[in-house]
Amino acid sequence: MPFISRLKYLHIIPWLLITALPGAAPRAAPGDDPSALWKIDHGKCVPDMRKNHKPEPCKIVDLSVGYVVLKDRTGLTQYLLLPTARISGIESPAVLAPGVPNYWDWAWRARTLTEDRAGKALPREALSLAVNSPFGRSQDQLHIHIDCVQKDVRDALAANSSAIGGSWAAFPVTMVGQTWRALRVDGDNLGTANPFDLLAKGDPAAAADMGKHTLVVVGMTWSNNVAGFAVLDGKVDPAGGNRGSGEDLQDHACALAH
């Protein structure tokens, strides 16, 4: 299976060098500023909303909840959701703090931006969210990737949906050459089902070392037409070449839209 999202190993380029889509999140070469996303979030989008009531260069700025959504430069349909609070990533204790917004729920609701870029409504099974581990990302600000899922991943989840239940269990097949655990969540939206909490509360060992994990959420329709999600957990394995990049399951070319 081609690793379409290998492109993510390009890193964030300085904002002033962007020549792509207006409002696009930059990607960078190794050694560039790991705080570039935070500088766009905190230094551009939030101030513009406060001063001018416009989200530029973001697409969404929600100051009441505390997040922004920004078009990523990579791919036609990829967006990023970032907190307006300074949170490094999945390894930060802040993602498990009482009262923290469920950024995953807001990211799923923002999938309509991906559909707009695709030019059509997409079935929930075509859409996904991902947070990479610190070993598989370039930026030091939490960001949730919002984009289509790879066709082979969608097919594997559909074929093995009966193996996904209400507690973490090994998924029976590898995806993008990696092993995963899976958990079922029901509902049109995630609501209060926060994948960070689901991982930490369901696995004390993971809670003690969240930075060794990557999380992916893929829309599902279970038997009897029940809407929900497959939540996937992958673990960093340096010896096996696994950097904990759940984004590998996404397709930034969005073949499922064609």
**What pLDDT is recorded for position 124?**
98
Above pLDDT 90, what percent of the chain? 85
Q: pLDDT tens digits for 41-66? A: 999 999 999 999 999 999 999 999 99
Looking up residue 81, the CATH number of its domain turns out to be: 3.30.428.30
Mean pLDDT of the chain: 89
**What pLDDT is recorded for position 3?**
31
Is the confidence at residue 5, as pLDDT, over 50?
A: no
**What pLDDT is recorded for position 21?**
34
DSSP, residue by residue, the chain: ---GGGGGGS-PPPGGG--SSTTEEP---TTS-TTHHHHHIIIIIHHHHHHHS--TTSSEEETTTTEEEEEESSSSS-EEEEESS----TTSGGGGSTT---HHHHHHHTHHHHHHHHTS---GGGEEEEE--GGG-S-SS--EEEEEBPHHHHHHHHHTGGG--SS-EE-SS-BTTB--EEEEEESSS-TT--HHHHHHHH-HHHHHTGGGEEEEEEEEEEGGGEEEEEEEEEE-BGGGTB---GGGGB-TT-GGG-
Is the confidence at residue 1, as pLDDT, over 50?
A: no
Across the range 105-109, mean pLDDT stands at 98
Which pTM was predicted? 0.89
**What pLDDT is recorded for position 238?**
86
Above pLDDT 70, what percent of the chain? 88
Tell me which of 33 and 251 has the higher pLDDT: 251
**What pLDDT is recorded for position 170?**
98
Q: pLDDT tens digits for 12-34? A: 322 222 223 334 444 344 457 99
Range of the domain at 64: 4-257
Is the confidence at residue 198, as pLDDT, over 70?
A: yes
**What pLDDT is recorded for position 239?**
87
Across the range 98-110, mean pLDDT stands at 98
Say how many domains are in the chain: 1
Tell me which of 29 and 101 has the higher pLDDT: 101
**What pLDDT is recorded for position 31?**
54
